[in-house]
Amino acid sequence: MQLYNKLSAKERAELIDKTGKNRLTLSFYQYAKIDNPQSFRDHLFITWDSLEVLGRIYVAHEGINAQLSLPADRFNEFKAHLDSIDFLKDIRLNIAVEQDNKSFLKLKIKVRNKIVADGLNDDTFDVTNKGVHLKAEEFNRFIEDENTVLVDMRNHYESEIGHFKNAVTPDVDTFRESLDIIEDDLKNHKEDKNLVMYCTGGIRCEKASAYFKHKGFKNVYQLEGGIIEYTRQVKEYNLENKFLGQNFVFDERRAERISDDVIANCHQCGTPFDVHTNCANDACHLLFIQCDACKEEMNNCCSTTCKEIHALPYEEQKELRKGQANSNDIFKKGRADHLPYKKDLRNIFDHFNSKK
């Protein structure tokens, strides 16, 4: 019985090309009590592997968080399987704005302590006491209200390439970092302001909204289904799109184009650009923004040093990496000191505070 992926990314990519099937990229999440996450994980892998599902899925005692792709012609089978699981029946599926047959190249289903690394002790507050969900039309009205503070619950490298107009974009590397910062900066407005939050697909806001209500915020709202569902509703109902730029996604696509606005810059030359890449030097692999001209000049590397290493024969590169851990720069995700046009650090509530 196969319980783990056995094909390499290269082998899977070749197989996808050979079959010639169009694939559908989607995501979903659900908070629910799962008594035996490992058993549930194995059940999912056996069933989904047979359906040619690929993706990154986290399972924990608190629920499931899934980003995946599958052959479009097997969608109904996949949906029927979800509906056979009580807490996943009729679950909302966030269909990707832009499709790519190779958005995922492996099926990875992992058991984790949390489906989102929030660093919170869920026993200290009621995680089911969530904020009010706003559909796209309601959301558009709320964020034009002068009594609303709109907060992006994603990380800095996500919001750098795309965010809602007038949104506060926390300069953080992790979701957990933003929670205390937001609470502290808005501590004097827990009753007189609308706290409206959004994220990619909604999962971070589910936990954050309950946490902020626990912390005393009276008017807490969240964008239902996140940026992905917002975009679908904007198109379906011909609404004004208030999102600027691209929506960062955690798969091979890297981002979905939501509007034509380019709000970021190449981290190496400063020209307007909003496409992330990873440094080609395997010992670095830094995530940063690099325009086409710099990509060609730097051979897809983030620095001259990395370019020189990447130009060495593969065996020499391996020798250099022996015994070396990944550079800490990999975790800075675009904030490495050698990038002259990296995103500037700033007080995330400067814009809000200036209006008080």
**Residues ≥6 apart with Cβ < 8 Å to 1:** 46
The percent helix, strand, coil of the chain (3-state, each to 5) is 35, 20, 45
Q: Write out the two tokens for 297.
A: 């000049």
**Helix locations, the chain, DSSP H:** 9-19, 37-50, 75-83, 136-142, 156-159, 175-185, 203-214, 226-237, 292-298, 304-310, 314-321, 350-353
Q: What angle do CA 291, 295, 299 make, to 5 degrees?
A: 170
353, two tokens: 């505070």
Could you give the CA distance from residue 139 to residue 182 in angstroms, rounded to a whole number? 20
Look at strands 132-134 and 220-223 and give their pairing.
parallel
What does the alpha-carbon distance between residue 197 and residue 202 come to, in Å, rounded to a whole number?
9
- State the alpha helices, DSSP H only, in 108-202: 136-142, 156-159, 175-185
Q: Which residues are catalytic?
A: 199
